[in-house]
Amino acid sequence: MRKSIATVCLSGTLEEKLTAIAAAGFDGVEIFENDLLASPLSPERVRDRTAELDLTIDLFQPFRDVEAVPEDLLARTLRRAEKKFAVMERLGADLMLVCSSVSPAALDDDALAAEQLRLLAERAAAHGIRIAYEALAWGRHVNTYDHAWRIVRQADHPALGTCLDSFHILSRGSGPKGIEEIPGEKIFFLQLADAPLMAMDVLQWSRHYRCFPGQGGLDVAGLLEHVLRTGYDGPLSLEVFNDVFRQGDTARTAVDALRSLIALEEAAGRTDLPAPVVPTGFAFAELASTGLELPALLTELGFARTGRHHSKPVELWEQGDARIVLNSGLDATTGHPEPALAAIGLETPDPAASAGRARALLAPVLPRHRAVADAPLDAVAAPDSTELFFCRTEHPDHPSWTGDFRACVISPRAASAAPAGITHIDHVALTQPRYHFDEASLFYRAVLGLRPHESLELADPYGLLRSRAVSGADGSVRLALNVAQIRPGSGPSGSLWQHIALHSRDIVATARRLRERGAPLLPIPDNYYDDLEARHELDPGLHRTLRELGLLYDQDDSGTFLHLYTATVGRVFFEIVQRIDGYQGYGAANAPVRLAAQHARTR
């Protein structure tokens, strides 16, 4: 289907928006009137520029407070409309969005509303223009789509139809099935937006918190299915008011927007995208490392250096099925002047299919400089620039990336230190730039087929940490997407911290080994354990062990969770975890304590 977007969705000037919309691959655009008013471009130049960019102008919007006005205001309304029709003719636009009235002067009279909308449609038709009437969720008298449709049907004019907006419909809890009773040819336009589920005034919710389909909690895909059953064949268009999007990078927001529509089409069964290939585990985590701190920390954690890359300054460290790659070739010239998480290897049963789906959903494919003997690895960039590699490790039918490493001789000292009971990578926490959090949520859901979980806000001593986990259905891949909002000058920024969580089969034994080796563990205040004793009726022996070893505790409806943290090296720290009896969370209740301890240590 044709894809369109309202200019209000993006930051920048009208010219910048049009350029980004075309570059992303959209077919058309809604011209938001405020963008035109603020532009030095004449309507004729806007028309020509959209044509140069191979875009159509699908809608001019909005025209407000039209219907059911007292007689003394009608002439003024029609005069205003004629002026806008003239502008639309200069733009080459032939469809105008009319919102249901919010004016205190509007009368609660459907017959009058239908009569005046018919009159407006007659005036519009004389200019070759049609009117799409939309029910605003906060309209004074008309605030549901079925009410708007009744008025359109009563007006009975060929140049008058309705516009359906997913936010206005779903935010009020209106049942979308009734849409199927509207003839498809009378649905003149469809606007799509998602939103997080929030308890707040619907106008403020709409004006500041809308997001692209798949990034919020509304069933936009279900609504689209009802619309398509009517025979509607117009464009799918995005209308999103979002404070963050209007501050973000124009070009990448436009790409994110188009990705949302591609994924939405798939959810509605209207596209032939490559099927999602959900990753089955972590092949490796790659860290930029130019010093001795990370090798020393990995040794203390029980890892052994098992291989060196045959052509690159890269080492492989292993313990159980947990693999850490240290790359000393990533320095200030490549954006990693200090230890940082640079890449994740994801196990997949079909790397080529995983890469194909990523490309179809507009994920940036990363060029690889590989020697002839290197294993083929496809990689794409995640929204925070972390590289994602699609791997099939040590499988007889696929070249394994581990074959690029020559075995290292493990020293007696390293051999005596390993292992520490770590079995595999449990999850990875990726810190997102502030403007890319919603983009990341959609990216991992659409590209990798991971399920998003509830978004949380956690207290940081200097602000807030917003976190949303995504995972495979079986929990073999878990990612925590975090964005921190802390005040400037609060010391080393928690917004930069990343971490890798390692699973232990017996975290108490692991913690004892780490303390014996002098591993730099994050100290936890005694106050935490006093509160823990008050909140949970734990066995006194377990409580003493937790306090002694600096272990944190959490529980959910399924089971319990024990975890500890190392000190931070550069931007990276490690978490050791043990999930007991099917615990599914991430210890979010303990995050404020961890953040405070990290700030205290880094300051």
- The domain that holds 192 is classified in CATH as 3.20.20.150
Token pair 């209106």 is found at: 174
Q: Which structural domain range is residue 596 located in? A: 281-602
Identify which of 506, 488, 351 has the alpha carbon closest to the alpha carbon of residue 422. 506
pLDDT at 80: 95
Kind of pairing, strands 560-565 and 572-580? antiparallel
In a domain, 471, yes or no: yes
Number of residues written out for the chain: 603
- Clarify whether residues 287 and 312 are in a common domain: yes
Residues 228, 154, single domain; the answer is yes
Query: What is the β-pairing status of strands 498-504 and 478-486?
Result: unpaired
Query: Which pTM does this prediction carry?
Result: 0.90
Q: Are residues 196 and 327 in the same domain?
A: no
Is residue 158 domain-shared with residue 106, that is, in the same domain? Answer: yes
Measured in degrees and rounded to the nearest 5, phi and psi for residue 481 equal -100, 120
Please, where are the H alpha helices in 71-165? 71-91, 110-125, 145-155
Residue 259 CA to residue 446 CA, distance in Å, equals 8
254 and 170 both lie in a single domain: yes
Residue 67 annotated as part of some ligand binding site: no
Same-domain status, 245 and 286:
no
The pLDDT value given to residue 351? 93
pLDDT value of position 401: 92
Task: Based on the fold, state whether residues 41 and 93 are members of the same structural domain.
Answer: yes
168, 257: one domain? yes
User: What does the alpha-carbon distance between residue 565 and residue 562 come to, in Å, rounded to a whole number?
Assistant: 11
pLDDT of residue 333: 45
C-alpha to C-alpha distance for 161 and 164, rounded to whole angstroms? 10
| Residue 191 among known ligand-binding residues | yes
Alpha helices in 424-506 (DSSP H): 437-448
Dmax over CA atoms of the chain, in Å, equals 95
Low-confidence residues of the chain: pLDDT under 70: 331-337, 370-372, 409-418, 486-495, 603
- For residues 510 and 571, state if they share a domain: yes
User: For strand 405-407 and strand 387-391, is the pairing parallel, antiparallel, or unpaired?
Assistant: unpaired
pLDDT at 109: 96
Domain membership of residue 73 (yes or no) is: yes
Is 89 marked as binding a ligand?
A: no
| Final residue belonging to a domain, choices 221, 238, 267 | 267
Asked whether residue 309 falls in the same domain as residue 349, the answer is yes
Q: Establish whether 265 is an annotated binding residue.
A: no
Categorise residue 320: left if φ over 0, alpha if ψ from -120 to 50, beta otherwise: left
CA dist., res. 364 & res. 104, Å (int): 50
Question: Would 275 be classed as within a structural domain?
Answer: no
Closest CA to 252 of 368, 364, 407, 104: 364
Distance CA 106, CA 65 (A): 8
Selection from 13, 11, 9, 17 nearest residue 55 by Cα: 17
pLDDT of residue 332: 43
Examine the domain organization and report whether 258 and 343 are in the same domain: no
Peptide bond into 419 cis (omega under 30): yes
427 is in an annotated binding site: yes
Looking at 216, 245, 267, which one is the last position of a domain? 267
Q: What angle do CA 135, 139, 141 make, to 5 degrees?
A: 100
Helix (H) or strand (E) holding 61: strand 56-63
Tell me whether residue 274 is in a domain. Answer: no
Same domain as 591, residue 471? yes
Amino acid 331: pLDDT: 60
Token pair for 130: 């049609």
From 226, 241, 267, give the residue that closes a domain.
Answer: 267
Question: What's residue 311's pLDDT?
Answer: 86
Is 30 labeled as ligand-binding? no
- Quickly count: other Cβ atoms within 10 Å of residue 40's Cβ: 8
- Residue 398 assigned ligand-binding role: no
Closest CA to 349 of 192, 204, 476: 476
Number of independent structural domains in the chain:
2
What confidence score (pLDDT) does residue 463 get? Answer: 85
pLDDT reported for residue 491? 47
Does residue 273 fall inside a structural domain? no
Let me know: does 438 contact 212? Beta carbons within 8 Å. Answer: yes
Residue environment code for 430-461, b if the CB has 16+ CB neighbours within 10 A, otherwise e: bbbeebbbbbbbbbbbbbbbbebbebbebebb
Q: CB-hemisphere CA count at 13 Å for 328?
A: 14
Amino acid, single-letter form, for residue 193 = A
The CATH number given to whatever domain includes residue 405 is 3.10.180.10
